[in-house]
Amino acid sequence: MHRYTHVNLSLAGVLLAFLAAPLAADVVTLRNGDRVSGSVVESNEKTLKMKTEFLGEVEIQWDAVVGVESPEKLYVTSEEGQTLVGPVKTEGEKFTVQTPSSGAVDIPIEQVAVLRNEAAEQAYQASIERLRNPKLTDFWRGYFDTGLAMTTGNSKTRSFTNSAGATRQTKRDTIKLYFTSVFAEANAGTADSATVTTANAIRGGTRYEVNVTDKMFTFGFLDLEHDKFQSLDLRNVIGGGLGYYLIRSDRATFDFFGGATFNQEFFQNDITRRSAEIVGGQELSLQVNDRTSLTERLALYPNMSNTGAYRIQFDTSLTTDIFKWLGWHLTLSDRYLSNPVPGRLTNDVLMTTGVRVVFGSEKLR
């Protein structure tokens, strides 16, 4: 008899635990009278996310919600930024949060900005800390472009173009890396004809910007360039200055900048030139639509050591997304040098088109 009593008590305990489980769940009541039980994860101004036993995570439109009850503590943040922590229950047009220190505290439903459970709140705080103190590996985004053109038959030509860029942007500063190369060769197609290189240029560098105010920034940069057909073995330019954002939004940025540089040029035949320069220009980044973006940069370098000489750099690129990670680009790059070495032209234009592979997705303004 004692054995049966023990079995009955055990079954009763299991039954009570089973019945009590739904009572411990968060419950959301909808306008049509339906009730959704599970665990509140988080909310925003439009939806409330819940994790349910059988449906997994579901999103409910806030407009359809008339009641929320949670025996577990939630983090309730108002539009003013105040956060209350504790079990939650709606009563009429207000949230009642049972806080451990102040007891029951009411907040109007229309003033509630965010609800989060413990895990979501910890993830949110971690993201805030990441924004305040980002690692060097955080917030990188960039691209890699490549293009190939070939002919064969009566003439043989090959042309390769590659470029890459990466940007790390935070609230405090911006790091930019950039690289472009072009190589082309041609052959008349006969057995005794020689292959001739018709283009061979490499450009690259880095730029670092620090925000002084919301509108003003300071910058420093290093540019490196090699161009066989300009007889340029290496040009390295180091400089810096100040810039001002005329436009700075999610869809467009437009800034002016100015400063000073030191330019070293090493040409063939042991020709070396060193000079101080002034730099001034503007830079534009525009999201034309959901798929198309435009970038453009113009910089003028008047030579202060050789008055009257100057350089001009112009770069622009139009990119259309095919997928989030793949696009097609058309890029134009122009380098003008007013005083080239004897026998060389003043202007070099590079136009490339091809596929663009994009990496990274974080963008912070």
Q: What is the pLDDT of residues 188-214, one digit of tens each?
A: 766 677 888 888 999 999 999 999 999
Q: Residue 361: what pLDDT?
A: 62
Instruction: List CB contacts of 42: < 8 A, sequence separation 6 or more.
Output: 49, 114, 115, 116, 117, 120
Q: What is the CA angle 43-44-45, rounded to 5?
A: 130
Q: Residue 191: what pLDDT?
A: 65
- pLDDT band per the 50, 70, 90 thresholds, residue 81: confident
Highest mean pLDDT: which range of 1-10, 158-167, 186-195, 217-226: 217-226
Domain 140-359: which topology?
Lipocalin (2.40.128)
Domain boundaries, the chain: 23-132, 140-359
**Portion of the chain with pLDDT greater than 90, in percent:** 46
Statement: residue 18 has pLDDT above 80: no
CA–CA distance, 229 with 32 (Å, rounded to integer): 76
For residues 59 and 43, is the Cβ–Cβ distance under 8 A?
no
Query: What is the pLDDT averaged over residues 288-301?
Result: 95
Statement: residue 336 has pLDDT above 90: yes
**Portion of the chain with pLDDT greater than 70, in percent:** 91
CA–CA distance, 240 with 223 (Å, rounded to integer): 11
pTM of the model: 0.71
Q: Residue 128: what pLDDT?
A: 84
Q: Residue 129: what pLDDT?
A: 83
State the DSSP code for 193. P
Statement: residue 364 has pLDDT above 50: no
Q: What is the pLDDT of residues 246-276, one digit of tens each?
A: 999 989 999 999 999 999 999 998 999 999 9
Q: Residue 140: what pLDDT?
A: 92
End-to-end CA gap in the chain: 74
- pLDDT band per the 50, 70, 90 thresholds, residue 64: confident
Q: Which residue has the higher pLDDT, 23 or 243?
A: 243
- 259, β-bridge pairs: 241, 279
Q: What is the pLDDT of residues 222-235, one digit of tens each?
A: 999 999 888 999 99
- Cα–Cα distances in angstroms (integers) from residue 285 to residues 126, 212, 282, 290, in the given order: 30, 20, 11, 14
Q: What is the pLDDT of residues 114-157, one digit of tens each?
A: 989 999 999 888 888 887 888 888 889 999 998 887 877 777 88
Query: What is the pLDDT averaged over residues 103-115?
Result: 86
List the single range of 16-20, 39-43, 236-240 with lowest mean pLDDT: 16-20
- pLDDT band per the 50, 70, 90 thresholds, residue 242: very high
Statement: residue 362 has pLDDT above 90: no
- pLDDT band per the 50, 70, 90 thresholds, residue 319: very high
For residues 210 and 216, is the Cβ–Cβ distance under 8 A?
no
Q: Residue 2: what pLDDT?
A: 44
Query: What is the pLDDT averaged over residues 337-347?
Result: 90
SS3 270: coil
